[in-house]
Amino acid sequence: MPASSPPVLETENLTIRFGGHVAVDSVSCRYESGSLTAIVGPNGAGKTTYFNMISGQLKASAGQVRLYGNDITGLSAPARTHRGIGRAFQLTNLFPNLSVLENVRLAIQSRRGIGLNLLTRASSFGSLIEEAETLLDRTNLLERAGETAAALPHGGQRRLEVAVLLALEPDVLMFDEPTAGMSADEVPVILDLIREIKGDRTKTVLLVEHKMDVVRSLADRIIVLHNGALVADGPPDEVIASPIVQEAYLGVRKSHA
């Protein structure tokens, strides 16, 4: 790929103000295919707000979000999903009263753009079910395919959200605190899934995560936000060891001896 090729995803001087408060402050960053970038920073640093501006839940006050070099800053969240930006762990992704299988089947159908009327042909319906079952197998949910999404425990619902996300086949996958609220036995399942997605090396993965052990085990790169600004960007060991992270994020004070 020539050096001048645009990255899969890029933010340039991305900024949002709430009243007088600058929550995300001119963040410029490129995300390449096959990479997993963790976004870390103290509470209130602007991580979720930055995520919301990439996925389209919030409109930027200034700056741009570009996908494959195309400016998508003005697009709605659904339009961005359609273009290939997928975000997990927004409860709105699930239909609680539909079965686990139907949730995934509908996502596949929406990706393929198949209307319900075309599903009268048993063969096309069968292939949707088959693909949905493959994704449920991958996310350890096949045994619960017939249950409603609402009946799943928290960790199961999160895995179902990942199955729905995978069904949409996005190029960019965004995970906001994927292990939050999960029981100890559920955590490795979700981390293995993210590791597997990263292992494909065809996707661009963004992860907001507080737990440094999770970040260390998954990320190729860490960016650090502090007071809305990007203050560090690089390989995990280097960034975690940097004075700005030790001081600003991990709360380690500089020695003045």
Ligand X SMILES: Nc1ncnc2c1ncn2[C@@H]1O[C@H](COP(=O)(O)OP(=O)(O)OP(=O)(O)O)[C@@H](O)[C@H]1O
Chain residues binding ligand X by CB under 6 A are 18, 23, 41, 43-49
Which of residues 41 and 86 has its CB atom nearest to ligand X in the complex?
Answer: 41
Nearer to ligand X, 18 or 127 (CB): 18
Q: What is the Rg, in whole angstroms, of the alpha carbon atoms belonging to the chain?
A: 19
Report, in Å, the least distance between residue 4 CB and ligand X.
33
Judged by DSSP in three states, 207 sits in strand
Q: Is 47 or 87 the residue whose CB approaches ligand X more closely?
A: 47
| Beta-strand pair 36-40/221-226 | parallel
Q: What's the closest the beta carbon of residue 22 comes to ligand X, in angstroms?
A: 9
Residue type for 52, please?
N
Give long-range contacts, CB 8 A cutoff, 24+ apart: 49-52.
Answer: 49/16, 49/23, 49/24, 49/228, 50/11, 50/14, 50/24, 50/225, 51/87, 51/174, 51/176, 51/206, 51/208
- At closest approach, how far in Å is the CB of 58 from ligand X? 7
Question: Least distance to ligand X from the beta carbon of 248, Å?
Answer: 12
Q: Which is nearer to ligand X, 118 or 180 (CB)?
A: 180
